[in-house]
Amino acid sequence: MKIYPYKRLNRPIALRVTSVSLRLPDGTRDPLDISAFSTQQQTVALGVAGDAWVSARIGLSATLPPGSTAADAPWSDVRVLAVLSDGETNVRTSARLRQSAPESKDWIGDIDVLRDDHVGRASLEVYAVATVDDVAGRSIAETDTPWVVDAMANEPLRGLALDIQQVDFRKSSREWLRPYADAPWIVDASGRVPTVYVNSAVEGLAELLGSRSGGIENKVHELLVTQMATDVWTAVFHSAVGDLEIEPDGSPVFPTDWQGEVLREMLPYVVPDVHVEEALRTVHRRRTGDAGWVELQTRIHFAAIRRAEVTKSLAGILRGLVQMNQGTES
Amino acid sequence: METGEEFGPWLARQLKLTGKSQAELAEELGLTRAAVSAWITKRSIPRPTVMQEIARALGTDIGTVHSRTTDTQAGLPVTWYHRPGYPDGGRDGGNAAAFAFEPDVQVLARETCQNSLDERIRENGRPVRVRYTIHELTGEKLAAFRQAILWDELQPHYAAVSANAAHQKVGRVIDAGVRDMFENGRLVLLRVDDYNASGLTGDDYDDGRFAAVVRRQLESLKSGSSAGGSYGLGKATLWATSALGLVLINSTLSEPHEGRTERRVIGRLELPWRTVDGRTCAGPAWFGRPDPESPAAEVTRSFWANPETVASLHLTRDGDDPGTSFLIVGAQDVAGLADDDADGGKSDSEENGDDTRDIRAMHRRLVAALGRDFWAAMTGGGNREPLLETSVRTLRNDEIVLEEERVDPANEEPSRTRALRAHFEGTTVERLTESGQVAHRFVPLDLPLSGGGRGTHGRHQALVLITAAEESEEELNQVHYMRGNLMTVKKARVPNLPLGTDPFQAVLLVGRAVGDSVPFVNEAEEFLRAAEPPEHDRWGQTDELTLRWSHSAFRRINRLTTEVNSAVKDLAARPKSAGRRPGGEKLGKALVLKQSPAAGSRVRTGTGRPDLQELSAEIGPAGEWRVTAEVKLPRGVELPAMRPVAELDVRSGPRPRLAWAELEAVDGCEVEDGVLRFVPGVGRATFRGSTDVESHPVRTTLTRLVLELRAEKGD
């Protein structure tokens, strides 16, 4: 639980993106369709117009919670700032918003995103800062869920899709894949985003994965997907806990990129009943300590099964098979 | 001075009203019968001195004779005429339509506004103004009103109906209405006024607006091809809304009838079949002046009332703008009361037992219904005035309960109102690049050849408007379909939208709604009106459509809907990602990090651990953090010891840990070496602590404290 030593607003700021335009290399501006951003998903996809842009200007509108402009408020000199922070490149950009009208709760403005500053996803938050108890620049309210600004994506989807590549392991220019020529798929979690390589040298595999047909083929397809997903989640989890930044006192720092997301989604199943931060410390202690790591493997396996929704799809597959059998008997 | 009627016809009617013959008048005036005849046939007019004598003979003043805007009061007194029962014993009287509608002011609002819209005077380009007045009468005001409507004459009829109440649904309603008035000593009048409308023109009995409303039950008289169905079935809602089956009417006409325009008054009562004083009555009754031309001078007709009479009937109109006022006596809102009950009656206490609750509720429901059904007609923009303005006010004994409230379409339909206004102002765009914009797209409507011929008569261009929905709105992603009268005929959700499409609202304008300059506008209007059933709630297969066009003509409308949906999808939804992902759709879906705020929440196995529940903290005099925390303890398990950890929140990097200077148990636990051990069996524990200032890296007022409970190592 967090406690501030001064008075704050107890509700979050509501942030909306109102427009997005790109500055192209020739200096012209290209306003993007509003389908480039999604209020539901709270995501902006800057990659909809391809890669050829220099900067993007995102129009913003933020609504402060009630009480921000109250006459008897314990603060003064309220300013509202939009902050774009990129966990990967460590770039932080901020822009001041302006009040749409005196005494209004709505603040508007825009923030520029430079293409060269980002490789993937950055998060966009808004802070209301004010002078409280004679200390300037204190944050009195923030957005609760940041918007995601994705410099690459061509669809404003909040979920981060893992990369999937289809290559012939024997002939690939990625020479490191060649020793795995026997394997139908391999997970590489060392990149910016974990990548699943599907071996197109395995005959029929790519076709099965790409098929939309029904019947028995569909069941096999689903079974294969759950199998692959279980593998992938297990691999990325291990990769995430094996690659933690450690504080001087030996406790792990919660990662901010995809690894953090993986941990956030899976740790609750690995160490139930505690906050994810606490769960991460437990896992880290067991991994680096003398005992308990082996015992934890069962829980990690369980978490991967849950995350890959094996139980659910298996039930569907089995039900389908039973129906199919009944159909052939009658 | 108001323009009076010509002298001849006026005099003829006055003679009829007073029951005098031309010869009798001639005799009284000491003139020849030929002289009187010459006046009546408009061949001459009397000299001023003779006017004086005529006035005396008719029992009126000279002013009335000169202005001739009212009838002399000498005629037969205003009274009620009850239609006699049929000699063959048939009982097919009664207004079927009145019983088909549930008393609901929202339905009333829809039907009455629609009539007013259709009767709008188009020539001046001004909106028709419709005002709803809810007026509750009690005490003396109620008594005075009852006297004005000649309640004593009606009483036996209501009594007869009440006696039969057990056998008839309508009888029960009316019985309840009468009892409500007497037992609670109150009566609610709901008045519907329209201004800048035609008014009830035409003869008392022959075809015309007057007869359509007052004399006939199902006939509809439409003023134009885009009309929604004026004074047809819908007018029955007026009587249905009255618990007493009684509606009084005062109309200012747009074109003179009998040389006059103002204060044409009549009342109509709808009761079930009844026997009163041995006479059978078929159903309806009219409040007016007996018509000397009718058999036994019994049938009552409309009369030109004077301002005092109109005032006593609560029918006084503002100014002389043409239009009609309907006064629904004993207005009831059964649907509204049901709504109110659903609230759990909490509004009761809100208004301090104020007994105006139901008229306030009626007021609110009217405002909401008008905004919902007529937002488009009430929207203007550019150089175009809205078609309709509406307002609602609530009075009690002539004192204001709720001020007159002009209905603002943007309250009920903020985004669609914005869309339509942008269309009128010409500020719509081709594609949406900013929220708040309105995009337009033309969609074709191919009109079939009439008379069953194959092929297409012509292509009309309908217009889709789309804009982002406002947060307050419900029923998202819908298209409202409307034609020239700007009434929403159909609301349809756009199917198969891709996941994650931001909520939007859309309007389809077709026919005259698009503008008068688009091709085949009249044909489209006519075609869709034929496809509209009496409920005005969809476009589809109707008899008229089949007869005038063909059996398959309605498919053209289905095709329009398909075009609309695809245009909307194109404008609102983002394109599906180009090209298929390697590895197929299923695998792709399985490998997505959700990044939802819900992720990271704890999975509970039921065993549970102690957890912080309440925390209060302040900075002590020495600059230390002083905390008091409450811990929630799970039941029935052996609880692990927990260590409270105080840290300072930071943006990045490890959090600095603060040392405890003091840590003490308050309740339900013990402190041992900085660790909390809980007393078995208690539900919650409380502890207090203060940090060691020596361990603070910065000034305490500039820090943010994070308190956590951590399990002791070795679990």
- pLDDT tens digits, A173-202: 888 999 999 999 999 988 778 999 999 888
Rounded to the nearest 10 degrees, how much is the dihedral formed by the CA atoms of A32, A38, A43, A47? -30
Judge whether A149 and A58 are in contact, CB under 8 Å. Answer: yes
Does the CB of A238 have a partner CB in chain B at under 8 Å?
no
Of A179-183, B92-96, B240-244, B534-538, the least confident: B92-96
Q: How many angstroms away from the CA of A41 is the closest CA of chain B?
A: 7
Cα angle for residues B567, B570, B575 (degrees, 5° grid): 160
Architecture of domain B611-711: Sandwich (2.60)
Give the tens place of pLDDT for each residue, B362-405: 898 899 889 888 999 999 888 888 999 999 999 999 898 889 99
Interchain contact, B591 vs A232, CB within 8 Å: yes
From B595, which residue of chain A is nearest by alpha-carbon distance?
A159
Of A311-320, B51-60, B703-712, the least confident: B51-60
**Residue B546 burial (CB count, 10 A):** 15
Of A246-250, A258-262, B539-543, B629-633, the least confident: A246-250
Which residues does A193 contact at the CB level (< 8 Å), separation at least 6? A120, A160, A162, A163, A258
Model confidence at B578, pLDDT cuts 50, 70, 90, reads very low
Query: Of the candidates B421, B438, B496, which has an alpha carbon nearest to the alpha carbon of residue A34?
Result: B438
CA–CA distance, A32 with B434 (Å, rounded to integer): 8
Interchain contact, A281 vs B710, CB within 8 Å: yes
| Residue from the list B433, B577, B580 with its beta carbon closest to the beta carbon of A32 | B433
CA–CA distance, B35 with A309 (Å, rounded to integer): 106
Mutant choice from B429, B430, B433, B635 vs A, greatest count of A C-beta within 10 A: B433
Which pLDDT score is estimated for A41? 85
Interchain contact, A158 vs B713, CB within 8 Å: no
pLDDT at B350 > cutoff 80:
no
* C-alpha dihedral sign at A279, A283, A288, A290: positive
**Looking at this protein, which amino acid is placed at residue B257?**
H
Chain B partners within 8 Å of A292 (Cβ): none
Q: Reduce the DSSP state of residue B479 to 3 states and report it.
A: strand
Distance of CA B160 to the CA centre of its chain: 35
Rounded to the nearest 10 degrees, how much is the dihedral formed by the CA atoms of B314, B340, B109, B512? 160
Which residues does B407 contact at the CB level (< 8 Å), separation at least 6? B367, B370, B371, B374, B378, B390, B391, B392
Query: Which of B89-93, B229-233, B294-298, B555-559 tops mean pLDDT?
Result: B555-559
Mutant choice from A138, A150, A225 vs B, greatest count of B C-beta within 10 A: A225
Q: How many angstroms away from the CA of A264 is the closest CA of chain B?
A: 4
Q: Indicate the average pLDDT of chain B.
A: 81
Judge whether B485 and B118 are in contact, CB under 8 Å. Answer: yes
Judge whether B583 and A166 are in contact, CB under 8 Å. Answer: yes
Chain B partners within 8 Å of A274 (Cβ): 602, 609, 711
| Residue from the list A32, A39, A206 with its beta carbon closest to the beta carbon of B502 | A39
CA–CA distance, B239 with B578 (Å, rounded to integer): 61
Judge whether B302 and B214 are in contact, CB under 8 Å. Answer: yes
Residues of chain A with CATH 2.60.40: 14-150
CA–CA distance, B321 with B195 (Å, rounded to integer): 6
Q: How many angstroms away from the CA of B709 is the closest CA of chain A?
A: 9
Chain A from 162 to 191: CB within 8 A of any B CB? 162, 164-166
Which pLDDT score is estimated for B226? 46
Interchain contact, A31 vs B433, CB within 8 Å: yes
Of A275-289, B190-204, B495-509, B571-585, the least confident: B571-585
Interchain contact, B706 vs A209, CB within 8 Å: no
Residues of chain B with CATH 1.10.260.40: 7-67
CA–CA distance, A84 with A94 (Å, rounded to integer): 6
**Looking at this protein, which amino acid is placed at residue A320?**
G
pLDDT at B227 > cutoff 50:
no
Chain B partners within 8 Å of A158 (Cβ): 594-596
The length of chain A in residues reads: 330
CA–CA distance, A214 with B314 (Å, rounded to integer): 74
Query: Of the candidates A21, A145, A146, A39, which has an alpha carbon nearest to the alpha carbon of residue B470?
Result: A39
The pair of structure tokens assigned to B671 is 């402190």
Give the tens place of pLDDT for each residue, B124-149: 888 999 999 999 998 899 999 999 99
Which residues does B3 contact at the CB level (< 8 Å), separation at least 6? B69, B256, B259
Numbers of helices and strands, H then E, in chain A = 6, 18
Of A271-280, A295-304, B14-23, B242-251, the least confident: B14-23
Which pLDDT score is estimated for B430? 86
The pair of structure tokens assigned to A327 is 């159909």
Q: How many angstroms away from the CA of A329 is the closest CA of chain B?
A: 30
Judge whether A222 and B584 are in contact, CB under 8 Å. Answer: no
Chain B partners within 8 Å of A262 (Cβ): 593
Judge whether B325 and B315 are in contact, CB under 8 Å. Answer: yes
Query: Of the candidates A143, A198, A196, A188, which has an alpha carbon nearest to the alpha carbon of residue A167?
Result: A198
CA–CA distance, A183 with A169 (Å, rounded to integer): 9
Q: Which CATH number fits domain A14-150: 1.10.10, 3.40.50, 2.60.40, 1.10.3470?
A: 2.60.40
Which pLDDT score is estimated for B352? 41
Which residues does B194 contact at the CB level (< 8 Å), separation at least 6? B116, B119, B128, B129, B130, B131, B323, B324, B325
Query: Of the candidates A258, A257, A190, A196, which has an alpha carbon nearest to the alpha carbon of residue A231?
Result: A196
Judge whether B256 and B205 are in contact, CB under 8 Å. Answer: no
Model confidence at A80, pLDDT cuts 50, 70, 90, reads very high
Model confidence at B99, pLDDT cuts 50, 70, 90, reads low
Give the tens place of pLDDT for each residue, B15-64: 877 777 888 888 888 888 888 888 888 888 888 788 888 877 777 767 67
Which pLDDT score is estimated for B460? 92
Interchain contact, A274 vs B711, CB within 8 Å: yes
**Residue B35 burial (CB count, 10 A):** 16
Of B334-338, B484-488, B540-544, B603-607, the least confident: B603-607
Of A284-288, B274-278, B635-639, the least confident: B635-639
pLDDT at A50 > cutoff 70:
yes
Chain A from 85 to 124: CB within 8 A of any B CB? none
- Among residues of chain A, what percentage have pLDDT more than 70? 99
CA–CA distance, B169 with B167 (Å, rounded to integer): 7
Q: How many angstroms away from the CA of A330 is the closest CA of chain B?
A: 32
Give the tens place of pLDDT for each residue, B667-685: 888 888 888 888 888 888 9
The mean per-residue pLDDT over the stretch B594-616 comes to: 66
Bridge partners (DSSP) listed for residue B269: B246, B285
Which pLDDT score is estimated for B19? 74
CA–CA distance, A242 with B266 (Å, rounded to integer): 91
Model confidence at B654, pLDDT cuts 50, 70, 90, reads confident
Chain A from 207 to 226: CB within 8 A of any B CB? 209-212, 221-222, 225-226
CA–CA distance, B197 with B323 (Å, rounded to integer): 5
Architecture of domain B7-67: Orthogonal Bundle (1.10)
- Among residues of chain B, what percentage have pLDDT more than 90? 19
Model confidence at B476, pLDDT cuts 50, 70, 90, reads confident
Judge whether B503 and B478 are in contact, CB under 8 Å. Answer: no
Rounded to the nearest 10 degrees, how much is the dihedral formed by the CA atoms of B609, B610, B615, B621? -120
CA–CA distance, A213 with B368 (Å, rounded to integer): 51
Q: Reduce the DSSP state of residue B12 to 3 states and report it.
A: helix
The mean per-residue pLDDT over the stretch A17-36 comes to: 90
**Antiparallel, parallel or unpaired: β B642-648 and B657-658:** antiparallel
Which pLDDT score is estimated for A107? 95
CA–CA distance, B93 with B170 (Å, rounded to integer): 13
pTM above 0.80, yes or no: no
Rounded to the nearest 10 degrees, how much is the dihedral formed by the CA atoms of B675, B678, B679, B680? -140
Which residues does B378 contact at the CB level (< 8 Å), separation at least 6? B370, B371, B386, B387, B388, B389, B390, B407, B408, B409
What are the Cα distances from residue B678, in Å, to A115, B250, B357? 55, 82, 55
Which pLDDT score is estimated for B715? 45
Interchain contact, B500 vs A157, CB within 8 Å: yes
pLDDT at B490 > cutoff 80:
yes
The pair of structure tokens assigned to B143 is 């008594």
From B644, which residue of chain A is nearest by alpha-carbon distance?
A1
Q: Where are the beta strands (DSSP E) in B227-372?
A: 242-252, 264-270, 274-276, 279-290, 300-301, 303-304, 323-331
Numbers of helices and strands, H then E, in chain B = 22, 27
Cα angle for residues B369, B372, B378 (degrees, 5° grid): 105
pLDDT at B97 > cutoff 60:
no
From A258, which residue of chain B is nearest by alpha-carbon distance?
B593
CA–CA distance, A140 with A9 (Å, rounded to integer): 6
CA–CA distance, B253 with B677 (Å, rounded to integer): 90
Judge whether B637 and B681 are in contact, CB under 8 Å. Answer: no
Query: Of the candidates A321, A308, A320, which has an alpha carbon nearest to the alpha carbon of residue A225?
Result: A308
Chain A partners within 8 Å of B468 (Cβ): 34, 39
In a 13 Å sphere around the CA of B167, the CA atoms on its Cβ side amount to 7
Give the tens place of pLDDT for each residue, B286-329: 898 887 777 766 778 888 888 888 899 999 998 889 999 999 99
Judge whether B5 and B259 are in contact, CB under 8 Å. Answer: yes
* C-alpha dihedral sign at B691, B696, B699, B705: negative
